[in-house]
Amino acid sequence: MRTVLAILAGLALALAAHPRGLEAQPLDNVMTAIRNGGGWVSIPIVGGRGSTSTVTLPTMGLTLTGCVRVWDGHSGRWEIRARDTVNQGSLSATSVPGQGVPFTHTFGLRSQLEVDFLWSEPRDTTLFLWVGLKGAEDDRDACVPKSP
C-alpha cells in the first residue's frame, strides 16, 4: 500500500506542476500548484492507451496529501500503471470516472515517473484527470475538483 501512495503522490506532484504536459519544472511551479489546490491534466489516449513520463523531479522530503480523479464525463474503467524509476516503486490501480483515489505520502529527495493509462474502451479520446492537492490550512476535499 505504501508504494501505491508513493506513486500516486508522485503522479500528483508531477501532473499538478505542469498541467499542459510533463517536463522539467522549477520548484516554484510545483509550490504554486500546491497552493492552488491542484489542477486538471489532459492526456491523449489512442486506441485505449496513453502514457507520459517526467524527468527526475526534486521532491526534497515533501509531504503531499491529495486525490487523483478521472473526469465524471468519461466512461469505462481506467487502469493506471506507474513506475518510479528512481525509487523502484510501482502501482497498478483501477479507477472509474468520478471516483477519487486519495493519498498521503512523504517523498525522498527525488522521483522520476513513467505512467501508462489503459482504458477499457479501445477508442481515441483525451483523458481528463483531476489532480487535487490539499494545503496545510485547507480543509476542502481534494477529491472534489475546483472550477476552472
> Would you list the domain boundaries of the chain?
2-133
pLDDT of residue 74: 96
Q: CB under 8 Å to 125, separation ≥6 — which residues?
A: 45, 74, 119
Identify the three-state secondary structure at position 139: coil
Residue with cell 500516486: 8
Rg of the chain in Å (alpha carbons): 14
pLDDT of residue 42: 85
Max CA separation in the chain (angstroms): 42
pTM: 0.74
pLDDT of residue 93: 74
pLDDT of residue 76: 97
Q: What CATH number belongs to 2-133?
A: 2.60.120
For β-strands 113-119 and 78-84, DSSP reports them as antiparallel
Tell me the HSE value of 69 on the side-chain side, using a 13 A CA sphere. 21
pLDDT in tens, the chain (148 residues): 344 445 555 666 555 554 444 443 444 555 566 677 788 888 899 999 999 887 787 777 777 778 889 999 999 999 988 777 887 666 677 889 999 888 776 666 887 778 899 999 999 999 998 888 886 556 778 888 876 5
pLDDT of residue 91: 66
C-alpha cell at 46: 489512442
pLDDT of residue 4: 46
